[in-house]
Chain A
Amino acid sequence: MPAKLVILAPYYEVATRLWSPFLRGWVKNELEKRKVETVLLWGGDANRQKLWEAVKDPEIRGILGVGHGSETEIVGQNNETLLKVGDSIGPEWRKLCFAPVSCLVGQKLVPWLVEQGVPCAVGEETEYWFTAEDKPREGNDPEEDQLLKYYLRAEYTYWFRLAEGFTAGQAYQMMLDEYEKQAKLAQQVDPETAYWLRYDAKHRKFFGDGSFLLTPGVRTRVDATVTVIRDARGRKDDFFITGRVVAEDGSTPKGWVEVWVNDKGATVPLEEDGSFSWTTSMFWTRNEEKLYAIAVIYNGYKDGKVYLPSRFDTQVKVEPITVPTVLTITDARASRDGPIVFLDYRGRLYDYKGNPLPGKSVAVSFGDGELREEEVVTDGDGAFQGTLSKIAELLQTKATVRAWFRGDDVYQGSSDTKVVSFPPNWEAVIPILAALLAGALVLALLLASIL
């Protein structure tokens, strides 16, 4: 029989307006993730008639939520009494756990309910104090309120653990531990909030049967390992998700798991030993940091033995990586035509594994001092070629050729350099040498005649 819970969420003055949206959003959602159905009594529905009607459903196994309280009663929308000492508690109440957040009900109302046969209950002996930000909220994530989040995470540990198959006694202790954990976290931000968390936990008392179970069955857990490898060249992240569903009693759970990476998922049958594995790729357009939410959900299984649902959640951040490249000038030859030197070059661009990189822009420069530069694009084999010319000095016989790939979001830059040789400009040099020689000869003759 599936478990159902009633969520009391009055919404009529500032305190309930702060708290109840998280019941309608986050708490309800988290319970449903754990395969517990919920009956939400929101706003005007948080009244006595609806509550008493709801508990008549034989599948209802608990009442949570919020409501102002006193020693002898808890109230709902517009302070209407929902339940009070002296009410007629019939068998429909003797199957559920009663644990809304409410001041003072731990003094008389809650112990009295347990005396009437309600199997378990949690109630506050004093006021339940809390701090909260005063701003609009959707209620889908406790992080929406930087103060109230500590109380929410601590308090609803009780119901989440119950939904996961822990006994009421275990879930209660886990809740108290979580209050302390949240108080330590809050201490860094707001010591007063840490104080109220510890105060509330100290006065949050358990009554009744610690062995109460929301859903009888064998508790399970999902152990999973997530490996992600970024394939920058393929513009994707490859996920390898493996693991096992483990039953608390040592038996091997049957059934299947849902495995999700963000909104991409699959149903994977469990092997005979309860293990599973799934691989998938998440494609992207920009090589940038990506954050992925991974969930492995075991929905439980019933086959003689009942295996309770469980899940594994984690987040994985994948950093951008770039692929090293190699650029080579495979051939570079220069020739001269008078003052002009022509360069014919060829080269190739490939990644560190030797895969050619087609369609990449490569810059080539030629010269020392005065440079000639052009951009060429690699062909399908990652090859590039071209011709450059420049004016060289008369006696210049060498020049540097440099080719470089600047890199992009996937590939790292790389470059290569070569020195090419070419003859001097003889056509211009010879007449000058001849003139110089003739001048020297004339000078020598003049000197000889003087001497």
Chain B
Amino acid sequence: MGVTFEQLRQHAALMLEKPLSFSKEDFIKLVEEYVEGLPEWRKDALLGYKVPGKVVAVRYRDLPRVLREDEEFFRRYVRALAEEGV
């Protein structure tokens, strides 16, 4: 059983709440597991947002790599995932 999106969100919230309890790499490994559990068509889909900058759309297969390489994207992604009341 892979990581669910809800579990990913919970870990993102935990990272923001207790930064020392969870490393960036621990979180990215969870993202890898989450992506691995997606259907093939979904792994090829894109996650995007509309800020002028270097990352505007990421293929899910590449999501762990981009999170490792792009600190700004990592920060925005974790913050958005951790949002309460959504």
Contact = CB atoms under 8 A, between A and B. Distances in A.
B50 A102 contact: yes
Interface stretch (A192-200, A298-306, A326-334): A192-200
Interface residues of B, number: 24
B63 to A, nearest CB: 11
Interface string B54-80: 001101000000000000000010001
Interface stretch (A121-129, A223-231, A421-429): A121-129
B46 interface: yes
Contacts of A198: 86
A177 interface: no
B36 interface: no
A242 B82 CA distance: 53
Contacts of B52: 68-70, 75, 79
A204 to B, nearest CB: 12
Contact of A18 (B42, B46, B51, B76): B46
Nearest to B83: A199
Interface SS of chain A = mixed
A13 B53 CA distance: 11
B6 A191 contact: yes
Given A133-B41, A134-B59, A199 B80 contact: yes
B80 A126 contact: yes
B16 interface: no
Interface in B28-60: 41-42, 44-53, 56-57, 59
A195 B85 contact: no
Contacts of B86: 195, 198-199, 202
B47 A129 contact: yes
Contacts of A69: 50-52
A341 B40 CA distance: 73
Contacts of A190: 42
A132 B45 contact: yes
A442 to B, nearest CB: 96
B5 interface: yes
Given A134-B44, A134-B59, A199-B83, A15 B49 contact: yes
Contact of A15 (B9, B50, B85): B50
Contacts of A101: 50
B46 A192 contact: no
A191 B2 CA distance: 14
B45 to A, nearest CB: 5
A130 interface: yes
A179 to B, nearest CB: 11
Contacts of A171: none
B56 A68 contact: yes
A370 B59 CA distance: 73
Given A14-B56, A15-B57, A198-B86, A134 B50 contact: no
B45 A103 contact: no
A132 B44 CA distance: 9
A12 to B, nearest CB: 10
A191 B5 CA distance: 7
A99 to B, nearest CB: 14
Interface of A: 13-15, 18, 66-70, 75, 79, 101-104, 124, 126-134, 147, 190-192, 195, 198-199, 202
Interface of B: 4-6, 9, 41-42, 44-53, 56-57, 59, 76, 80, 83, 85-86
7 contacts: A14-B48, A15-B50, A66-B50, A126-B80, A127-B51, A129-B49, A191-B6
**Pairs A-B, 10 closest by C-beta atoms:** A68-B52, A15-B56, A14-B57, A127-B49, A103-B50, A103-B51, A15-B48, A192-B5, A198-B86, A15-B57
